[in-house]
Structure 1
Amino acid sequence: MSRSAETDLDPTERVVEAFRAGEPVLVHDFDDREGETDLVYPAGAVTPAEVARMRNDAGGLVCVALPDDVAETLGLPFMDDVLDHPAAAAHDLAYDSRSSFSFTVNHRDSFTGITDRDRAMTISRLAPVAELARAGDYDADDFGGEFRAPGHVHLLRGAPNLLDDRQGHTELGLALADHATLPPAVVVCEMLDDETGAALSKADAREYAGRHDLAFVDGDRLLSDLS
């Protein structure tokens, strides 16, 4: 959906419609949280070219968020629940009470797992897998037959009640997928500033969105409209 065709829609409607069409959208979380803008995709729409966009234009970590019920069915824990190491003993995050990280995976048909083609294969396959798992037609053994860990795609596990429990990009992206009636698997990648190495400012993220004809929305707007 071109930006010229979106002028009659509010920011959330623009984002939902673009997301439903398989386009990446830009979501800024909250100024008093991470203060970051992520490129967010439906996992099933990710191609090698989109992995390249995340590498070159965003620069953050490429992750796939799955909802709590899907992660539970697939046997994907929060990593901080299973790591037995002093580094996992305390969570002193400045922006939240816990991390969403689960395993890292590669699709078994990939080679090294890190190339644009390999990561796109892993990411895009997670969309139908999440849908099958939610329907009860795919379990941890099936997952282990198709994916191997560790790998090069980071999996995130959403909070059980999504935005009622936590308001990170993980939950914002999954809520967006729900409202767009898409499979419950969402890619998030932080946008970084090439010059400073810090998070890309909201103003620069908006400018990027305008330059590339992409939808942009603030997390507080999504939280208000989707929760």
Structure 2
Amino acid sequence: MSAQPDDGPSRSERILEAASRLFAERGYDATSTRAIADAVGLNIATVAYHVGGKPELYRAVMRRAHLAQREVVVAALEQLHTCGSSAEETRAALLGFVDAYLSFCLNRPEVAALWIRRWLSEGADVTEIETEFAGPLVAEVATAVRAVLDRAGIGAGVDVEMLTFTIVWTAHSFGQAGIIDPAGRRVGPRDLAVLDRFRANLHAIVTGVLDQKS
């Protein structure tokens, strides 16, 4: 007898996809296990069998989001490390890193939404998310950026950790909310002119910090 297409792994993936979407849209506190089960056409017992209870499911969703984020960040850091050692090459490479992260936020808006909700204390009873995921990745980025800045002899006084957080905060927020135009309309990143303005402004912030502290 051939295997059914809806086997264990595929069910787990469907559950995680639905949970990621609902946690991003509604938040952890407002999303029930029943809502997730209904979204994939399963009962609560089946969801629990594959992924555990709601806290375990939330951990799995955040781990999945983190791994997607980390893959892009590590690849961008590898590119950053290969840049030339001049100040000009280092600034350009750092802006390339910023662009790579911004593209990730725009291509994976549910990841940014999950983290923004986390910043608003969603799922506060699941306490290890920052310790396991966010904290180590920020530290890795800050260490790598500091190394290339020191190699180029620029940005000696820059608070690289705070600069990293500034990039994360602004990229996530713009990807989710866009801007409000003079007429009071919300304009998002799909508007290419607005996206170009935002990217140019983010670049100016990064280079301005580097130049001020060099």
Larger Rg: 2
TM (norm. structure 1) is 0.23
Structure with greater helix percent = 2
Q: Judging by fraction of residues, say which structure has more strand.
A: 1
